Amino acid sequence: MKASPKAKTPLRLLRHEPLPKGIRRLARSQIDAACRALQGSEPSAVHEARKALKKLRALLQLVAPEFGRKAFLAEKQHFQDAARLLAPLRDADAQVRALDGLIQNGGLEPADFAQMRKPLTAATDRLARAAGRPKHRAAELLRLARGRVRRWPLDEMEWSRLAKEIRRTYRKGRKALALHQREQTLETFHAWRKRAKELWYHLRIAQALLPESVAERIALCGEIGELAGSARDLALLHTTLLAQKDGVERALLIGEIEVRLPELQQAALERGTRLYAEKPRVFAKRLL
């Protein structure tokens, strides 16, 4: 527990490591990373904790068939409950960062938007001051989860099962992309974004066991995650701004978002088309 809240915790199995041992090691390391982050007082610490929780849920999904449906859903719920406690502060901070990025990238004058920024930063500060209890409760849930990791039913796990689950993750992401291409809504876009990010985590976890050619897919997933995550934050800010009173600055920012948001989505979708170009059975051969 000596590492700083921002210390990197690699999400990767080792080549000659028994799978059950490696999965448990990764689970504990991400739980510890989240708990370290929760000791920090900055909003960014909550962001780091939530990233660790996303990795934990992806890791759990990767080994879901070993659990059985009921046990898997119960374990997943514990991690979701911890993440949900931290969501309000993360979303408030994300909107401030999205606003600042919008101003900087648009070549706008920050002083002109100081009044608009105040309620956003005030909301972040208010949630940060009140975050002690939810952070404490989230850490409690994680400590309990850490104690259960040794009992995760992984002893029969083999690489073939892991590869099968990665293929399933790829197939779900491909279907989510096709659905978004048909419906073109924010909801379908963000549903696909989550699937692509899950594939990113799964490929990173298994990278040492995969051919080097998979590195290109991992990079594509990472780019999609960055672009789609920025789009999500802008969409949150857009909703907040629509609820505010009319004004020149508000109208200007909404206009900027309505230009930038489709650009981010299109860039993510272009990469998604490349990522999911192959049928799942063809993609699965890359894992061998």
- What tokens were used for 273? 């088309």
Given a cut of 80, whether residue 288 has pLDDT beyond it is no
pLDDT of residue 270: 97
Mean predicted confidence (pLDDT) in 56-63: 96
- What tokens were used for 58? 């992806």
Q: Is residue 237 one of the residues assigned to a domain?
A: yes
Mean predicted confidence (pLDDT) in 132-161: 94
Domain range for residue 246? 158-288
Mean predicted confidence (pLDDT) in 166-177: 97
Q: Is residue 2 one of the residues assigned to a domain?
A: no
Last residue of one domain, picked from the residues 157, 180, 201: 157
Q: Is residue 163 one of the residues assigned to a domain?
A: yes
- What tokens were used for 53? 């929780």
81 and 187 co-located in one domain: no
pLDDT of residue 115: 87
Reported pTM = 0.92
124 and 167 co-located in one domain: no
105 and 165 co-located in one domain: no
166 and 150 co-located in one domain: no
pLDDT of residue 1: 38
Locate tokens 């449906």: which residue? Answer: 69
**Residue 235: CATH number of its domain:** 1.20.120
207 and 115 co-located in one domain: no
Given a cut of 90, whether residue 5 has pLDDT beyond it is no
Residue closest to 214 by CA, chosen among 176, 171, 175, 163:
163
Task: Please answer whether residues 177 and 192 qualify as being in contact, where contact means their C-beta atoms are separated by less than 8 angstroms.
Answer: yes
Given a cut of 70, whether residue 175 has pLDDT beyond it is yes
Q: To the nearest whole number, what is the mean pLDDT of the chain?
A: 92
14 and 120 co-located in one domain: yes
Cα 129 to Cα 52, 123, 125, 132, 273: the distances in Å are: 22, 10, 6, 7, 43
Given a cut of 50, whether residue 33 has pLDDT beyond it is yes
Q: Is residue 45 one of the residues assigned to a domain?
A: yes
Last residue of one domain, picked from the residues 128, 157, 186: 157
135 and 187 co-located in one domain: no
144 and 184 co-located in one domain: no
pLDDT of residue 3: 40
Share of the chain above pLDDT 90, in %: 80
Given a cut of 70, whether residue 152 has pLDDT beyond it is yes
Torsion of CA 116, 120, 123, 129, to 10 degrees: -110
172 and 143 co-located in one domain: no
Q: How many domains is the chain built from?
A: 2
Share of the chain above pLDDT 70, in %: 97
Residue closest to 57 by CA, chosen among 33, 38, 75:
75
pLDDT of residue 100: 93
- Which of the four pLDDT bands, split at 50, 70 and 90, describes residue 4? very low
pLDDT of residue 245: 84
199 and 125 co-located in one domain: no
268 and 147 co-located in one domain: no
pLDDT of residue 8: 65
Q: Is residue 1 one of the residues assigned to a domain?
A: no
- Which of the four pLDDT bands, split at 50, 70 and 90, describes residue 145? very high
- How many other CB atoms sit within 10 Å of the CB of residue 117? 16
